[in-house]
A and B are shown apart, each in its own frame.
Chain A
Amino acid sequence: MSFASERNYLQDRGGAWLIALVTLTIVVVPILNLAVPPESPLHISTYTVSLLGKYLCFALLALAVDLIWGYAGILSLGHGAFFALGGYAMGMYMMRQIGDRGVYGHPELPDFMVFLNWTELPWYWYGFDSFPFALLMVLLAPGVLAFVFGWLAFRSRVTGVYFSIITQALTYAMMLAFFRNDMGFGGNNGLTDFKDILGFSLQSDGTKNALFIGSGIALIAGYLLCRYVVDSKLGRVLISVRDAESRTRFIGYRVEHYKLFVFVLSAMMAGVAGAFYVPQVGIINPGEFAPIVSIEIIIWVAVGGRGFLYGAVIGAILVNYGKTFFTGAFPEIWLFMLGGLFVVSTLFLPRGVVGLFHSLKKSLAEGRLKQEDEQTPMAEEKA
């Protein structure tokens, strides 16, 4: 008899494949980029490395969303906010690293502050010259926001679409706030012109490959963490909350505590994804808080298959590859496609491509069974 906690990693074939593939990618791609000469057809450009790195960050973000949506039924339309907060925390560290190499050459203040005639660093920028502190903030900034927001919302039993709408309002409000210059996060332009991270130049191929590998490791770690959570008894409680919230309460589980736990965990994962994303794209601005950004994450998960952790990863990579391809080739069509994806995936692929694959496999197996049944006259009694 296989059981809850015994339904372990070994049985998670999709996950095993995923980890193997990601591992392979983060080993092979840097080799093809650094060791293979540019003339060779096998060479992978540094641009592609950063692009792939971006996809890995998105995959981690999708994983975070799948954890709450696929397993606990919490549809957050504001996860871009947590992603962006993690990104800003990392961006602030890299801004401080610029030091006096900025356009205005101020030893302490980032350029945009000098431009605004500020004379002192705002208090909330203190400490960001330290990498460990910045890393802590990558987790804490989204974590604390998610905790406060989630505590308020879940305690009052704001659920379903109501929760979705207020998370959208949350990220919208954050966007408006970050657009303001006097917030001290660079306003409209956000944070950019980064020079280096931990002393390594962001322009060098080595750093870019390292960031790519880091993103891959973060994705694998995120996957294993989610897998652990989902396979634990707590994961069962989450599913129970998703399917029958009120019933779960009557069994004696404090639903709001469980939701809060998983929401904060998910927000922190999104923050980590943002922290890996920003050095690879070189900029973070309030546009990341736009509601559309958050809602796009949802479609990655929906296309991949919510409730399957590796489905979220597949969805994120598929949709983003499609986006890169179509916005390059037919920019007009992309929004039609994206819009169509929303409609098609909700109408015809309620469990995404992974779900489709599973049900195909199942119906194939059943078909085979049926054929066998037809051959044996005892079939009906067996059924």
Chain B
Amino acid sequence: MKNSLIKVCLFALLVGEGLIVSAFSAQARSEEPSLRVASDFATVVGGLTSKSFKEKARIIDELTGFEDQRVPLVLDALLNGDLYYDKKSQDIVILEKVEGDYLATEVVSGRERGVVKKRSMKKVGVNNSLRRQLRSRLAAFRLKSDDRELRLTAAQEILKAPSREFLPALNDALSKEKVNVLREALELARAAVLLGSEDAAERLQAVESMADASDHRVVTMLELLLIQDDQGEYAEPDAAVRAAASEALVDLRTRAKIYKFFEDLFFGISLGSVLLLAAVGLAITFGVMGVINMAHGEMIMLGAYTTYVIQLLMPNHIGLSLIVAIPAAFVVSGLFGVAIERGVIRFLYGRPLETLLATFGISLILQQLVRSIFTPLNRSVITPEWLSGSWQVNGMLSLTYNRLYIIIFALLVLFALIQLLKRTFFGLQMRAVTQNRAMASSMGIRTGWVDALTFGLGSGIAGVAGVALSQLTNVGPNLGQSYIIDSFMVVVFGGVGNLMGTFVGAMSLGIVNKFAEPFTGAVLAKILILVFVILFIQRRPRGLFALKGRFVED
């Protein structure tokens, strides 16, 4: 302090009116921080060209005093070794490597310089102690941020690498934080920090506060305390802390199991929803009409490619393009379906095996068509932001948004379909035709059209399933094939001609698959499911929800 005061005085003497100016500026700082930011940020950052690590450490501390968006950027770049300065102009820049070229952005002005030669730049070097400092300051800076997400990430960063240096920032943040979830995260981070304390009482306090947390990392931390070395010495010397830790672990593990169960259930349901989406169209064409459509998978594939094309057409509206893709895919696959029904299938009614073969041929043609147009390479469809990421329920349970949306979407599709069949005139005609063709025909229903539209409906739904699948996997010519067998299994398992059966079938196969996986591995789980369904058909050849009575004739 004394030192800087002298400097200021010197400065004042030299410049004369300087004192007054700095007094003014000090005042301005308290009222309008941006003023100071504008002038001084550049100077302070400029100091980073210094070779002295001590000087740099000082500058880092000083930088954290600014409330400026650029601060975390600089600190982050410095930590990652992306911060450079121009050898000529001494401007501090962030370098970003893009396909072998280096793109520079000036830190102070935010101006993009475009591609630069790396040789003309000099790296701002850091050492380990600076890195440590950077991490803690970054965390502290973020903990103060207005952005909730940022605060949460900061707390989680600390939890990952707890260190005593974060303690002041954490205490500070805890005293201000009002959001419950964040408080929990902060408490947890603080406990993690305290766990490394020299003081047994602090450690005990930490362990006790950890017992309520739902986080896998806590389990690991507490387990580490109970590890014995070769001499039988525990990592945690204090017996009381150890006792508290093992007690907390019992709770935590039980909770972990419960959450694991819910997570598996969630995955199972989401897999079931994918199966449901893939199979529900088949439930119409196969279940209601009795047409074996081996090209059903390709209808899904067409839907996925429609999504891809629409995204190409609307590159700036990824989110919207996905919404647009739903009706578009329905129409595209639906029209293909109608064409297939009118062109081929209608000549083959009553000959299921021939229908199977002809539609298989169509599936080959469609695959090759797509291969010729879009190349055999997989295309990836961009996921809009609101579909990516996950919902962090707590440290032990996080649900990814895309799966969550797929579950909702699948249920919506099923619901809409049931409504369509039950409430609309078309649905009535369709049911009439499938139950008694001759009677429906004599009542003036154009059975040919109803057949075509019904098949189009089933295919269209497959297309919609393709939109959803494009968010989960890559879009390729073989996309449909991977779902066709599963879809048939679902429909056969659930019972032909019964949408509720399809729903139950899809969900049970999805859930069973997910719960079997940890014990058997993914491939074996799939094999076991197939074997299970094959055996199941032995018991109940007509599925879970079979129709009975005199309409069942073989």
Contacts and interface: CB of A to CB of B under 8 A. Distances in A.
Q: CB atoms of A and B under 8 A apart anywhere in the complex?
A: yes
Interface in A338-372: 338-343, 345-347, 350
A196 B225 CA distance: 62
A166 B534 contact: yes
Nearest to A345: B357
B361 A162 contact: no
B358 interface: yes
B485 A152 contact: no
Contact of B357 (A152, A157, A302): A302
Interface stretch (B123-131, B167-175, B394-402, B524-532): B524-532
Interface string B343-357: 010011001111111
Nearest to A155: B538
Q: Which of B347, B358, B489, B531 has the most CB of A within 10 A?
A: B358
A342 B360 contact: yes
A336 B367 CA distance: 9
Interface of B: 292, 344, 347-348, 351-358, 360-369, 371-372, 485, 488-489, 492, 523-524, 526-527, 530-531, 533-535, 537-539, 541, 554
Nearest to B290: A161
- 8 nearest interchain CB pairs? A342-B361, A339-B364, A339-B365, A335-B368, A156-B538, A173-B530, A339-B361, A346-B358
Given A339-B364, A342-B360, A342-B361, A156 B554 contact: no
B347 A347 contact: yes
Contact of B354 (A245, A295, A341, A346): A346
A347 to B, nearest CB: 6
Given A152-B535, A332-B368, A246 B554 contact: yes
Contacts of A342: 357-358, 360-362, 364
A166 B492 CA distance: 10
A295 B489 CA distance: 18
Interface stretch (A33-41, A82-90, A174-182, A267-275): A174-182
Contact of A343 (B344, B372, B526, B538): B344
Interface in A242-260: 245-246
Contacts of A145: none
A75 B535 CA distance: 19
Contact of B358 (A166, A173, A177, A347): A347
A156 B541 contact: yes
Nearest to B491: A165
Given A166-B533, A169-B530, A173-B526, 18 more contacts: A152-B534, A153-B534, A162-B492, A168-B485, A169-B485, A169-B534, A170-B530, A245-B554, A291-B485, A298-B357, A336-B368, A339-B365, A342-B361, A342-B362, A343-B344, A346-B348, A346-B357, A346-B358
A194 to B, nearest CB: 27
A166 B361 contact: no
Contacts of B348: 346-347
Given A332-B368, A342-B360, A169 B538 contact: no
A351 B132 CA distance: 80
A165 B364 CA distance: 17
Nearest to A173: B530
B554 A159 contact: yes
Nearest to A77: B356
A160 interface: yes
Interface string A289-312: 001000100110010000000000
Contacts of B538: 152-153, 155-156, 158
A172 B485 contact: yes
Specify which of A173, A245, A295, A345 lies most central, judged by the most chain B CB atoms within 10 Å of its CB: A173
Contacts, number: 121
Contact of B365 (A164, A298, A340, A350): A340
A346 B489 CA distance: 25
22 contacts: A152-B534, A152-B538, A153-B534, A153-B537, A161-B292, A164-B292, A164-B356, A166-B492, A166-B537, A169-B533, A169-B534, A172-B485, A172-B530, A173-B526, A173-B530, A173-B531, A177-B527, A180-B523, A335-B371, A339-B361, A346-B354, A350-B354
Contact of A169 (B363, B372, B489, B539): B489
B372 A332 contact: yes
A159 B553 CA distance: 12
A335 B554 contact: no
Interface in A155-209: 155-162, 164-166, 168-170, 172-173, 176-177, 179-180
Contact of A339 (B292, B362, B530, B534): B362
A157 B530 contact: no
Contacts of A246: 554
A340 B360 CA distance: 10
A298 B539 CA distance: 28
A169 B554 CA distance: 23
Nearest to A290: B481
Contacts of A160: 352-353
A364 B539 CA distance: 51
Contacts of B554: 157, 159, 245-246
A298 B294 CA distance: 14
A191 B109 CA distance: 65
Nearest to A295: B360
Contacts of B492: 162, 165-166
A162 B353 contact: no
A161 B485 CA distance: 13
A341 B354 CA distance: 12
Interface string A225-239: 000000000000000
A347 B541 CA distance: 29
Contacts of A75: 353, 356
A330 to B, nearest CB: 12
A246 B554 CA distance: 8
A43 to B, nearest CB: 36
Contacts of A157: 541, 554
Contacts of A350: 354
A162 B534 CA distance: 10
A226 to B, nearest CB: 20
A201 B223 CA distance: 62
A338 B357 CA distance: 11
A152 B531 CA distance: 12
B30 to A, nearest CB: 70
A170 B529 CA distance: 11
B541 A158 contact: yes
Interface in A27-85: 75
Contacts of A158: 537-538, 541
Contacts of A291: 485
Contacts of B360: 295, 342
Scoring A245, A339, A341, A350 by chain B CB atoms within 10 A of each residue's CB, the highest score goes to A339
Contacts of B539: 156
Contacts of A172: 485, 530
A338 B364 contact: yes
A241 to B, nearest CB: 13
B138 to A, nearest CB: 45
Nearest to A343: B361
A312 to B, nearest CB: 15
Nearest to A246: B554
A142 B124 CA distance: 70
A181 B510 CA distance: 25
B364 A162 contact: no
A332 B368 CA distance: 8
A165 B357 contact: no
Nearest to B540: A156
A179 B364 contact: no
Nearest to A163: B537
Interface string A98-120: 00000000000000000000000
Contacts of A162: 492, 537, 541
B523 A161 contact: no
Nearest to A350: B354
Contacts of A338: 361, 364
Contacts of B485: 165, 168-169, 172, 291
Contacts of B369: 336
Contacts of A298: 357
